[in-house]
A = this chain, B = another copy of it.
């Protein structure tokens, strides 16, 4: 395989292969039934990236994680523990909060009949319900949602019986230590509405075969052949690309826009690492900053993507800190990607669409498709 000759990033590239795989049949992109099955088997079962923990600085802080049909309250309780609950009153189902973020004093009170819950979810007040025979407040706590924090990132799991997070994340639990992710702060966020299936967004991220055509600016910074995967199977997929310019970064200027993250050294100073954290997170590690995409399905052909640019607080106070160089670069690249994802969504809906062959550069999509089908079939 020609491209491998040019890669000197580790020794994993040689095993990369699409192995004759083809794209998925179009039902996976247009069928309502499959979309509902995905919701059940994937989005109600897997750990989902929600937000950075730093969004909840103080006890009482909360925000809502809004999915297509669910609203989840994520809060920091009085003992500073982060917790998650369904935004559903146990009395008549009313949403307890409608503001997307805010601060609770010591409790959560339903605006309808003043049923009141502690920040631990326990029902602590239910006016007049003492008149009802056998009514017991302990029977009506808020519905809890499993929650874990990893590298400063909050994950939730809507399953009744979630796989333990450490087990689920074992392949990458300590992998990114050198980027000191938990210390990073969001400098900028952008929200995109994309008229494409969520999987098309993950697939688009999983190969740089499209870079020469779609991303002329990005393609000047990294050669699509200079890439490799160090995670090649399972829910975590990706690996490094070498930057053409030594000491550069993925920015409009091609130069770093912040001082390098202190744990990053050696060859990593000349690389960018791209990882899919299945099913809804994309993690892009540059020497000087980190990019996180969060994807939210809103139907078979509609998704929301939130993109965060993270920097080290020390870098943010440096006189040479120039985040717009990275923000502008990825905002441009994001828009190029979303537009082609939307074109793919439309074309795939055609009656003549049939699975097409992957190139070797799309081996990671083939792995992603395998993981997806396995998850759907569970």
The answer to whether A26 has its CB under 8 Å from any CB of chain B is: yes
Interface residues of A in 335-355 (CB under 8 A from B): 340, 343-344, 346-353
The answer to whether A189 has its CB under 8 Å from any CB of chain B is: no
- Give the secondary structure class of A's interface: loop
Q: Mark A80-99, 1 if CB is under 8 A from B, else 0.
A: 00000011111111111010
Q: Smallest distance from the beta carbon of A97 to chain B beta carbons, Å? A: 9
The answer to whether A128 has its CB under 8 Å from any CB of chain B is: yes
Interface residues of A in 1-54 (CB under 8 A from B): 1-3, 18, 20, 23, 26, 44
A344 partner residues in chain B, CB cutoff 8 A: 92-95, 112
The answer, among B3, B88, B209, for a CB contact under 8 Å with A352, is: B88
Q: Are B210 and A357 in contact (CB under 8 A)?
A: no
Q: With A20-B132, A71-B346, A359-B132 as given contacts, are A213 and B91 in contact (CB-CB < 8 Å)?
A: no
Interface residues of A (CB under 8 A from B): 1-3, 18, 20, 23, 26, 44, 69-71, 86-96, 98, 109-114, 127-129, 131-135, 140, 143, 209-210, 212-214, 340, 343-344, 346-353, 356-361
A339 to B109, CA, bound (A): 16
Q: With A88-B353, A113-B213, A352-B86 as given contacts, are A131 and B359 in contact (CB-CB < 8 Å)?
A: yes
Q: Are B343 and A94 in contact (CB under 8 A)?
A: yes
Q: With A143-B352, A360-B131 as given contacts, are A343 and B90 in contact (CB-CB < 8 Å)?
A: no
Q: Smallest distance from the beta carbon of A65 to chain B beta carbons, Å? A: 13
Q: Are A131 and B343 in contact (CB under 8 A)?
A: no
Q: With A131-B2, A351-B69, A353-B88 as given contacts, are A23 and B93 in contact (CB-CB < 8 Å)?
A: yes
Q: Are A128 and B209 in contact (CB under 8 A)?
A: yes
A44 partner residues in chain B, CB cutoff 8 A: 351
Q: With A70-B350, A111-B340 as given contacts, are A360 and B91 in contact (CB-CB < 8 Å)?
A: no
A92 to B2, CA, bound (A): 23
Q: Smallest distance from the beta carbon of A299 to chain B beta carbons, Å? A: 15
Q: Are A132 and B213 in contact (CB under 8 A)?
A: no
Q: In the complex, which residue of chain B has the Cβ closest to the Cβ of A110?
A: B213
Q: Are B213 and A357 in contact (CB under 8 A)?
A: no
A135 partner residues in chain B, CB cutoff 8 A: 357
Q: Are A86 and B350 in contact (CB under 8 A)?
A: yes
5 contacts between A and B (CB under 8 A): A69-B350, A70-B350, A112-B213, A114-B212, A127-B212
Q: Are B214 and A346 in contact (CB under 8 A)?
A: no
A23 partner residues in chain B, CB cutoff 8 A: 91-93
Q: Are A88 and B359 in contact (CB under 8 A)?
A: no
Q: Are A18 and B132 in contact (CB under 8 A)?
A: yes
A315 to B122, CA, bound (A): 53
Indicate the member of A109, A113, A140 with the most B CB atoms within 10 Å. A113
Q: In the complex, which residue of chain B has the Cβ closest to the Cβ of A69?
A: B349
